[in-house]
Structure 1
Amino acid sequence: MQNTNDTKVYTAGCDAPLKIRKGHFASNHAHINYYIDVTTLKTRSGEAKEIARYLTGTYLFGTVIDTIVCMEGTDVIGAYLAEELTKEGFLSTNAHKTMYVVHPEFNSNSQLIFRNNLLPEIAGKNIMVLMSSITTGRTLDKVLECIQYYGGTLSGVSAIFSACETYHDIPISAVFGKKDIPDYASYDYRECPLCKSGEKLDALVNAYGFATLGDN
């Protein structure tokens, strides 16, 4: 059920809305003043397909994409995105001329890894990374390190929402951004103005959801 504090945000050219909630939230890397709820965009087939359609229109024709690495539960969007890109004639070096859609896993040391059976889909491939949201880029650093370790080449970064426009000089293709939420901000927890003003945290958040403080 949608929280009564949620607001729906639309962006030009996309019929799927982004749900946001203003407040004081803590992620793994920062304190933020909005919770970005991408749940239905990742899990409802119609909305996921609309996100994929929009993202397809943001890529430069001629971009080579062999594999889409889906992070933060974006696999449904990734599957539709691979279908849309193939249909639109985007290049792939794969012999079958279709794209792989995969996701890594975390090992016991919280490192991203790909199992041996997936290595042929990463090594020597042109990789598009698909994220649910990008705030500081620190998660992307881990993803890039993983891709490079297994011999892949980063060809692009996509997201449902991104507060950043580029990553290591690579443009980030995002459906929603600060153009849609102009006052969106993230802070180092040691310098958070909301904390300094005495505003208590509303919840702990990550790409999968949120937990209000006191929840089990």
Structure 2
Amino acid sequence: MSIQIVEIPNHQNKVRLRVAHGHFATSHSHINYYIDLTMTKHRLSEARIAAEELCGMYKNSTIVDSILCLDGTEVLGACMASALSEAGFRSMNAHQTIYVVTPEHTSGSQLIFRDNIAPMIVGKHVLVLAASLTTGFTARSAIEAIRYYSGVPAGVSAIFSAIDECEGFPVKSVFTVKENLPDYVSCSSHNCPMCKAGEKLTGLVNSHGVSSF
């Protein structure tokens, strides 16, 4: 089954959201759109633009010591770290820099940090960065891990978000359901209207992309 990707520009027409309509399953929900964030995550020019937009949503009073990258957003995280540093955002680090880190996942989907990475979390103000947030499950796990390692969550950012808030933090995103994809649906597999209507799955989606049937 072929997947037709269409592009949706953001409000400034600088970054484009690539989506495909269908019936897709993630590990936490069923969705009616596959959000393809490959280019924004891996193309430097797009990552820089997205980073500038995200960084502009934070006030200069925000302290950011580390950026915790989820879903393969390391390139975007590095661009955000550079933009935040240039904008004069305060850092509590002795070296006055921003760390860009990636968690390790256990078989039970818990996030852990090895001894060589943990110092970049312990006592640091950590900004959570995700590719997309649909249920917020992954971001909540990240915030729990930051607190477990005695870090301080500083905020939640994403390229695309279907939620406005996560663990008390407003979600800052380049694209939102309300502004860019108002008919987007995310629901549990047990309450999926597409399943109840007998609509077969178009594909399986995870942070690496989509596998179509």
| Alpha-carbon shift at residue 106 of structure 1 (Å) | 1.4
| Partner-residue secondary structure (3-state), 2:32 | strand
Matched, 1:181 2:181: yes
User: What are the within-5 Å matches in structure 2 for residues 64-79 of structure 1?
Assistant: 64-79=63-78
Q: Who is 2:106 aligned against? A: 107
SS of structure 1 residue aligned to 2:118: helix
Question: Superposition pairs for residues 6-17 of structure 1, below 5 Å?
Answer: 6-13=5-12, 15-17=14-16
Structure 2 residues without counterparts, runs of 5 or longer: none
The match for 1:193 is: 193
SS in 2 for 1:62: coil
Give the direction of change, closer, same or farther, for the CA distance of 1:108–1:187 in structure 2 (3 Å limit): closer
Question: Given that residues 53 and 84 in structure 1 are in contact (C-alpha distance below 8 angstroms), is that contact kept between their aligned partners in structure 2?
Answer: yes
What whole-Å deviation, never above 9, does each CA across 1:190-211 have from its counterpart, x for those lacking one? 0100011111100010121011
Helix, strand or coil: the match of 2:180?
A: coil
Distance (whole Å) between structure 2 residues aligned to residue 4 and residue 27 of structure 1: 16
Q: What residue number does 1:19 align with?
A: 18
- TM (norm. structure 2) is 0.96
Measure the CA separation in 2 of the matches of 1:209 and 1:67: 26
Give 1:92 shift.
Answer: 0.7
TM-score between both structures, scaled by the size of structure 1: 0.94
Where 2:14 maps in the other structure, the secondary structure is coil
Partner-residue secondary structure (3-state), 1:116: coil
Q: Distance in 2 between matches of 1:14 and 1:116?
A: 42
Letter in 1 for 2:200: K
Q: What residue in structure 1 maps to residue 170 of structure 2? A: 171
The DSSP-based 3-state class of the residue aligned with 1:164 is coil
Report 1:50-199 matches (<5 A).
50-178=49-177, 179-199=179-199
CA distance in 2, matches of 1:189, 1:18: 25
Q: Is the 8 A contact 2:204 2:210 kept in 1?
A: yes
The count of residues paired between Structure 1 and Structure 2 equals 211
Task: List structure 1 runs of 4+ shifted beyond 4 angstroms.
Answer: none
**Counterpart residue identity of residue 96, structure 2:** K
- In 1, the alpha carbon distance for the partners of 2:130 and 2:68 equals 9
What is the rounded CA distance, in whole Å, between the counterparts of 2:60 and 2:183 in structure 1? 33
Cα contact 1:70–1:102 (8 A) shared by 2: yes
**Residue pair 2:8, 2:16 contacting (<8 A) in 1 also:** yes
Q: Partner of 1:41 in structure 2?
A: 40
- Return the offset for 1:168: 2.0
Tell me how far apart the structure 2 counterparts of residues 165 and 85 of structure 1 sit (CA, whole Å).
22
Q: CA RMSD in A?
A: 1.2
Residue 12 of structure 1: how far off its partner (Å): 1.4
Per-residue CA deviation, residues 23-67 of structure 1 (Å, 9 max, x unaligned), is: 000001000000000001100110111110111111122101000
Q: Distance in 2 between matches of 1:9 and 1:208?
A: 21
SS of the aligned residue for 1:131 comes to: strand
Q: Distance in 2 between matches of 1:14 and 1:69?
A: 27
Deviation at 1:85, TM superposition (A): 0.5
Contact 1:13 1:54 in 2 (8 A): no
Aligned residue for 2:194, secondary structure, equals: helix
Gaps of 5+ in 1: none
